[in-house]
Amino acid sequence: MSSRALEDARSMMAPGNPVPADAFGDSWDSPPGRATFQRIVAQPRDSATTVRRADRRPARRRPGRPWVLAGSAAVAVLIGAVAVLAGRPAARPGQLTTAPMLHYTLTGVAAPVLATQLPPARALLLRLGRIAGRQPARPRPPGADIGYVLTNEWYMSVAVAGGTNTVAITPQVDQTWTAPDGTARQVEHSGKPWVGPIGSLLTLRGVDHRRPASDSTSRTTEEFGPLVAALSANPARLRAQLLRASEYRGDPRRVPEAYQLIGVIADLQHQPVPPRLEAALWRVLAGQPDIRYLGTVIDRAGRRGDAVATTIGRAERLVLIISPSTGRLLGEEDIDLTNPGALNIRKFPIVTSYVAYLSQGWTTSTAKVPGP
């Protein structure tokens, strides 16, 4: 393989591949290395069923400067996220323990998460849209034009090399501020990653890339989708805007549209979403026949919710949890129904990531947290 081809491959794969550029040494310039490269860049026969979304955010450099996490609530949430892992039964050697599955209740269905036939979510989403549209706007004190959102997030990263794999589970609390011009600041407080099973030093280096904390600034469109203020409350126009904002640009040949819509809608919620727009979001999803009702659930913050989901083939299920009393999005769950081939886990389904949206509000600067 030429050095130019190798650099092109590395450049293409960089956003989703944290393995250091020199980790492979000269192993690429050999028959096995070239064969591996060809397998990586080959177009899957059915890309819609092989796409992975757990690390969907584009990678970017995070400035390594010191910061202070404002507010004790965020730290308390992070402690709770770590406790989720600590409270799990110890795995046998070579196996990985993951975050517990939420308990979904659906009349007549014993295990909704695994069900291949789920009822349509259209009527529920239309009702939730009406409820959301009736909610009052969040109070905005004088001069407070900076949106603020607090989330608890949990991710599982997998690195594979030489037939072995390493899995890192990282709980974190994120504080996100968004200015009217679209500038976003995010302060991320990460718990210590739980790493296991370590297949090799190479795969360990591949997942051991997260800093304990970061403080970064970006354009909203780089990280969390379009600026909320620029979105239409008309469902038809809004749907087109959401699909254009997807990393797959609305192309259903790459990823089903429902999958794309859920991804963009979940990312948007890192900005305060006004009730009228929240209502329009649920009306957009109501028009997707492949959005199905998963049942009622108590989310990771102890709140009651209605769950809707879309499924990619028989492999992956994306879930949104919505408050039945306010129509607000409470959380997002990404669930693997089967083993994608690289996880040393015996029992499926498993949760590969989740986001719990804990609070939203308005403040006067990106260094302040809204009051109670």
Residue 181 structure tokens: 């011009």
Q: Does the pLDDT value for residue 321 go beyond 80?
A: yes
The more confidently predicted of residues 10 and 286 is 286
Are 257 and 310 in contact by the 8 Å Cβ rule? The answer is: no
Give residue 202's pLDDT band: very low, low, confident or very high (50, 70, 90): low
Q: Does the pLDDT value for residue 6 go beyond 90?
A: no
- Per-residue pLDDT, 308: 98
- Please name the helix (run of DSSP H) or strand (run of DSSP E) that holds residue 372, with its range, or none: none
Instruction: Please provide residue 157's backbone torsions phi and psi, each rounded to the nearest 5 degrees.
Output: -110, 140
The DSSP code sequence of 38-78 is: HHHHSPPTTHHHH---TT-SPP------------HHHHHHH
pLDDT tens digits, residue range 229-244?
999 999 999 999 999 9
Closest of 357, 344, 355 to residue 171, by C-alpha: 355
pLDDT tens digits, residue range 72-113?
444 445 444 444 444 444 444 445 567 789 999 999 999 999
Q: Does the pLDDT value for residue 295 go beyond 70?
A: yes
- Per-residue pLDDT, 95: 53
Handedness of CA 202, 207, 211, 217 (dihedral sign): positive
Task: Count the neighbouring beta carbons within 10 Å of the beta carbon of residue 84.
Answer: 19
Q: Does the pLDDT value for residue 314 go beyond 50?
A: yes
- Per-residue pLDDT, 290: 95
Q: Does the pLDDT value for residue 155 go beyond 70?
A: yes
pTM: 0.75
Chain-centroid distance, C-alpha 320: 11
Structure-token match 């998963």, residue found: 294
Chain-centroid distance, C-alpha 261: 13
Q: Does the pLDDT value for residue 359 go beyond 50?
A: yes
Instruction: State mean pLDDT over 11-16.
Output: 48
Task: Give the orientation angle of helix 122-133 with respect to helix 275-286, to 10 degrees.
Answer: 170
pLDDT tens digits, residue range 162-194?
666 677 777 889 999 999 999 999 998 877 776
Structure-token match 């400035």, residue found: 63
- Per-residue pLDDT, 190: 79
The DSSP code sequence of 185-252 is: EEEEEEPPPEEE----HHHHHHHTT--SEEEEEEEHHHHS-S-GGG--SSHHHHHHHHHHHSTTTT-T
Handedness of CA 27, 45, 112, 326 (dihedral sign): positive
Please state the domain extents for the chain.
3-42, 49-363
What is the overall mean pLDDT for the chain? 77
> For the chain, what is the largest distance between any 2 Cα atoms, rounded to a whole number of angstroms?
66
Whole-Å CA distances, 258 to 67, 219, 249, 330, 365: 38, 25, 13, 19, 35
Whole-Å CA distances, 351 to 193, 253, 323, 334, 347: 16, 26, 21, 6, 11
The rounded distance, in Å, linking the Cα atoms of 173 and 73 is 10
